[in-house]
Amino acid sequence: AMGIEDAVTSPTFSLQQCYGKNIYHYDLYNHGLEHFISLGMMEELDKEGVHFVEWGDDELLRILTAAEIPTVVIEIEKVSDDEREYRIDYAHA
C-alpha cells in the first residue's frame, strides 16, 4: 500500500521511521510528547507527506488541530484475543 514494498515496523525505540520519500511514522510510547517536542520533531510534521503517530495523546491532538493540521484519529480496542474494534474519526478544532 502507498507504494511501499519494505516491511513496516514500529519505530518504538528510534522514535521515527521513514518509508519512501513521503511517509513518516513516529512512536511516542517510550519517549512521550515532551521529548518529541524537545528534539524539534514537531518540525518534521511540516514535511509534505503522510505522518503516522502512535501513542499520541490529547495534548498532541490539541496542538495539531490548533495548527490546522488535518488529523485523523484511529483508535484500536481489543475486544477479545482475536478481535479488534477500530474507530476512525477526523479531528476538528
- Rg of the Cα atoms in the chain: 14
The predicted pLDDT at position 1 comes to 55
Residue entry with cell 490546522: 68
Contact between 93 and 63 under an 8 Å Cβ cutoff? The reply is no
Grid cell locating 92: 476538528
The predicted pLDDT at position 91 comes to 84
Distance CA 93, CA 8 (A): 31
The predicted pLDDT at position 85 comes to 97
pLDDT digits (tens, 9 = 90+) for 27-84: 999 989 999 999 999 999 999 999 999 999 999 999 999 999 999 999 999 999 999 9
* Stronger pLDDT, 86 or 21, i.e. the higher one: 86
The predicted pLDDT at position 92 comes to 72
The residue among 2, 11, 8 whose CA lies nearest residue 41 is: 11
